[in-house]
Amino acid sequence: MDLEFDSKAGTFPIATENDLELYAFRVASTVAASVLNLIFYHHQEDIKNDDYVRLIAAAERMGQALQYVNIARDIVQDAQYQRVYFPTSWLNEEGLTPSMVVENPTHPRLAVLRDRLLDKAETCAKDSQEAIDELPSKIRGPLRVTILSYMEIGKALRELQVSACDSKLKLPWWRLFKVAWAATY
């Protein structure tokens, strides 16, 4: 889908929310499912087929959640590459077009769309959070820390009260430590 972007021709492939979900699935859900399969293989877990299907679906949903946070964080950087991952239908609701975002990726109305995307990320993460308890015990903690650290980026974006950051948001070490501590204990 990334190869379909052509700002000069006015081609932006994320037209609808379904396109956004498909993009996030292709980019991140496939990785999450692959990682989970590696975990099952290396931990030699015997998992019933129904449980396997459910856990893979939860991993795919979590992958989408993390991708939505990534999109919300990288609005400015993506615009530099002439890419806009907000659905055009969402932009239209705010009186914007993908070309307008490329020209002004810090437009104040993008904050509404960023928050909408972060809401979607939080919903996906909540939907799949319980599945972590069913994974091998050795990987639960590190997995929780990774996921919660990423979701903390979404919280920090909301706290900034701006439409977009000029560079990739990086959390201070103390905040990451706090997230890791909470996830582990």
Share of the chain above pLDDT 90, in %: 51
Of the pLDDT bands very low, low, confident and very high (cuts 50, 70, 90), residue 140 is confident
In a domain, 29, yes or no: yes
In a domain, 127, yes or no: yes
60 CB-contact burial (10 Å; exposed 0-12 / middle 13-18 / buried 19+) = buried
In a domain, 63, yes or no: yes
**What whole-number distance in Å separates Cα of residue 93 and Cα of residue 109?**
10
The most confident of the ranges 116-120, 152-156, 181-185 is: 116-120
In a domain, 145, yes or no: no
pLDDT attached to residue 86: 97
Residue 68 has pLDDT above 80, yes or no: yes
CA dist 163 to 73, 104, 114, Å?
A: 10, 10, 7
Residue 32: give the domain boundaries: 7-135
Q: Which positions ≥6 away from 91 have C-beta within 8 Å?
A: 84, 97, 98, 100, 101, 113
In a domain, 97, yes or no: yes
In a domain, 119, yes or no: yes
In a domain, 162, yes or no: no
Q: Which CATH number is 32's domain given? A: 1.10.600.10
pLDDT attached to residue 110: 94
In a domain, 66, yes or no: yes
pLDDT attached to residue 137: 80
pLDDT attached to residue 128: 87
**What whole-number distance in Å separates Cα of residue 87 and Cα of residue 17?**
6
Of the pLDDT bands very low, low, confident and very high (cuts 50, 70, 90), residue 166 is low
Of the pLDDT bands very low, low, confident and very high (cuts 50, 70, 90), residue 28 is very high
**What whole-number distance in Å separates Cα of residue 91 and Cα of residue 3?**
21
Domain count, the chain: 1
